[in-house]
Structure 1
Amino acid sequence: MPFPYKKVVVTGATSGIGEALARKLVDDGSVVIAVGRRKENLDKLVQEYGHDKVQGIQFDITQLKSIPHFATNIINTHPDLDCIILNAGIQRRSDFSDPDTVDIDVLELEFRTNYLSQLALTKAFLPHFQKKDGQSALIYVTSGLALVPIVRCPNYCAAKAGLHQFILCLREQLKGSRTKVVELFPPAVQTELHDGKHQPDIKNGRAIGMPLDEFTNQAYAGLASGSEQVPVGTAKQAFDAFEVKRQEIFAQMVQAMRGM
């Protein structure tokens, strides 16, 4: 089944899951606006596929005050934009049993990248989607750690869990609209997220998790199917074990509070 959206912004498209999804989209016929901080990687994508299929924009999503201008420029240039994949993220270790090692500035950047920037991007792009006649989508890449945390990176887990809760509420707020709210839950995947340059305490980090190609194929199949929630690998095990029931309780809460 082909991906239903034809012009897609992908954040964090210079490596890992973002780059892999961008490539998959182009191969399937979508036009991609690839966003990331590393211009050389964006240029490589554009050169490989051509400017008619991929356009690169160098931008740092942690610059929250610049996001409205960033979004307006894209929307004005691409009025047919019908999807954004919010993928960019970072992961850092923090151990509060040794408080002197905890750097609040690092935690703030991690939280701003993984949570606040996603809200700012949602606010900036949503009015455009709400005005469109056809279908559109906000696709969020969260994590299996939004469901089951690990001890070594509590701030990352908290940010992803917070984003997951936001997505549940946003989907309910946009219910009945033409904008679909989709969440992709990756397990650990073999990307540079775990590289020593980012997390020096991890040895051979690139070998951790599901192979990127295997993950991308499963994730893309789920996204193309039209599913609103796409858990993959070990994230699906957690999702099936308890998240389905938890969301049933959430639906009951929504119904009970309707009209309040």
Structure 2
Amino acid sequence: MVFQYKRVLLVGATAGIGAAMADKLIEEGAKVIAVGRRQERLDAFVAKHGPERASGIRYDVTDRTGLDAFVSKVVETYPDLDCVFLNSGTQTAVRLTRPTEIDIDAFHREFEVNYTSIVNLTLKFLPYLEKKDSPTSLIVTGTFLSLVPAFVLPAYSASKAALRSFFECLRRQHQDFSKIKFIEILPPVVQTELHDYMGIERGRALGMPLADFTERAYAALASGKEEIIIGNLQGATPEDIELFLEKRKLLFDSLSNSLALHFQP
């Protein structure tokens, strides 16, 4: 199968998974609007692929005051936009045993990048995606750590758990009447800049090779899946993860069905 969306806004596209997926989507025929903070990387992306298929917008997802202007610029400049791919993320280790050494602003910024900013962008782009006559999608990059936290990464694990809960609620509330497809990708540890806080040599050697992940993620997107699970958690088999998610979904569906009796969309 082929990825059905033709114009993708990819937020968090200047490094790691975002940059690799932007390249892959263009390779497979989509047009990509890359969004990130580093102008030189955006310029390099456009130069690499050409302005007919690639474009770039510099925007910091934590800039809430500029959010409306950013969204307006995107939808006015690219009326054929049919896919919003929210991939921004940051990760740091936090020693909760040393509370006086914790940078509280940095802790909250991690939540803002990984969760709050994605909620903000989702809510702003939803009305636009809903109005489209053609199929549209909203994609987020999650993590296995939204299911089982890494104790040395409390801000990252908690922010991604919040994102998963929000996204499941979003999908369920739109289940019976929306044309939007809500897609969550759950990657394993992947060899990217995300782990540079460990030291570049060590951090970028950790996990699944980025090229392998990218091929598998694209294949799953092209197949039409809404929940894309790639790789595994240490100490678990693929069957363990599948059973865990199946049980979790049964519980979620049971609770959702009871609440739906009193829910007015």
Residue identity opposite 2:46 in structure 1: V
TM-score, normalised with respect to structure 1: 0.96
1 CA distance for matches of 2:243 and 2:92? 27
TM-score, normalised with respect to structure 2: 0.94
2 CA distance for matches of 1:126 and 1:153? 30
- In structure 2, the partner of 1:250 is 252
User: 1:201 Cα shift?
Assistant: 6.5
- In structure 1, the partner of 2:141 is 141
RMSD, matched Cα = 1.4
In the TM superposition, 1:186-197 aligns within 5 A as: 186-195=187-196
1 CA distance for matches of 2:144 and 2:52? 35
Of the structure 1 ranges 206-215 and 96-105, higher mean CA displacement relative to structure 2 is found in 96-105
Q: Does 1:231 align with 2:234?
A: no
- In structure 2, the partner of 1:110 is 110
User: 1:259 Cα shift?
Assistant: 2.5
2 CA distance for matches of 1:231 and 1:178? 23
SS at match of 1:234: coil
1 CA distance for matches of 2:186 and 2:251? 20
User: 1:200 Cα shift?
Assistant: 4.4
Of the structure 1 ranges 227-236 and 212-221, higher mean CA displacement relative to structure 2 is found in 227-236
1 CA distance for matches of 2:232 and 2:92? 21
2 CA distance for matches of 1:201 and 1:104? 22
- In structure 2, the partner of 1:179 is 180
2 CA distance for matches of 1:247 and 1:20? 30
Distance 1:202 1:25, change over 3 A: closer
1:70-97 deviation per Cα after TM superposition (whole angstroms, max 9, x unaligned): 0111001111100011001000111111
1:230-258 deviation per Cα after TM superposition (whole angstroms, max 9, x unaligned): 01001583641412211111101111112
- Conserved 8 A contact 2:10-2:32: yes
Question: Structure 1 stretches of 5 or more lacking a match?
Answer: none
Question: Structure 2 stretches of 5 or more lacking a match?
Answer: none
- Conserved 8 A contact 1:218-1:232: yes
- In structure 1, the partner of 2:218 is 220
- Conserved 8 A contact 2:4-2:222: yes
1:34-65 deviation per Cα after TM superposition (whole angstroms, max 9, x unaligned): 00011111111100110010001111011122
2 CA distance for matches of 1:67 and 1:232? 31
- Conserved 8 A contact 2:193-2:200: no
- Conserved 8 A contact 1:94-1:101: no
